[in-house]
Amino acid sequence: MNNHSQTSKHTISALVLDKPGVLNRISSMFRRRGFNIASLAVGQSENPDLSRMTFVVVGNNSVVEQVTKHLNKLIDVIKVLDLSSENVISRELALFRINSSSQARSEIMNLSNIFRANVVDIARNTMILEITGDEEKIVAFEEMLRPFGIIEIMRTGTISLKRGMDASTSLPQPKERKNQSSWGEAASV
């Protein structure tokens, strides 16, 4: 099997205009094209007019090329990067509500210390634990918590930044961009 047809997870980062309807237009494009989003995280970027979206999609290289191509066609999308083959730092945040009898609490707290998780809430029979890390760390922590009884899990999507000083995920200020007077508005000719 060649590398082009192997299915795997790919991380794509997009800088988009921070305005109503952008997430809907992008998710509609994914739906229309039949692309599956395994993970999605959206938040404000270093520029208050832009948001950064991080998608994890499952597919082969051809699927990732198509996703990138279609994202770049959307007017609200400023820049798209496929971070899959880059040297990146990726993190997720997860919250776990678990059963915690008084007898099990010390064991749960020791487990949390090993995984560098935080206890953020304790009630009579439950605890909420917070953990940050890559997907493998969170999955491993979840497996260790299962015997105690997981009541609820809440996970963010993956977020990623390239390592080092490479600023290729950053953008010039709007006035420096050709053919745009401000983000998303075409300059008059």
**Domain at 153, CATH number:** 3.30.70.1150
Q: Tell me: the pLDDT tens digits for 63-76?
A: 888 889 999 998 99
Q: What rounded mean pLDDT belongs to the chain?
A: 85
User: CA of 46: how far to CAs of 18, 22, 82, 105, 170, in Å?
Assistant: 12, 18, 19, 40, 8
- pLDDT for residue 163: 86
Share of the chain above pLDDT 90, in %: 54
Contact by Cβ (8 Å): 35, 63: yes
Q: Tell me: the pLDDT tens digits for 110-146?
A: 999 999 999 999 999 999 999 999 999 999 999 999 9
Given pLDDT bands bounded at 50, 70 and 90, which one contains residue 182?
Answer: low
**Domain at 26, CATH number:** 3.30.70.260
Given pLDDT bands bounded at 50, 70 and 90, which one contains residue 19?
Answer: very high
Count CB-CB contacts under 10 A for residue 134: 14
Tell whether 31 and 76 lie within a shared domain: yes
- 9 within a domain of the structure (yes/no): yes
Given pLDDT bands bounded at 50, 70 and 90, which one contains residue 156?
Answer: very high
- pLDDT for residue 162: 87
Tell whether 56 and 111 lie within a shared domain: no
**170 phi and psi angles, rounded to 5 deg:** -90, 165
Domains identified in the chain, total number:
2
Stronger pLDDT, 186 or 131, i.e. the higher one: 131
- 105 within a domain of the structure (yes/no): yes
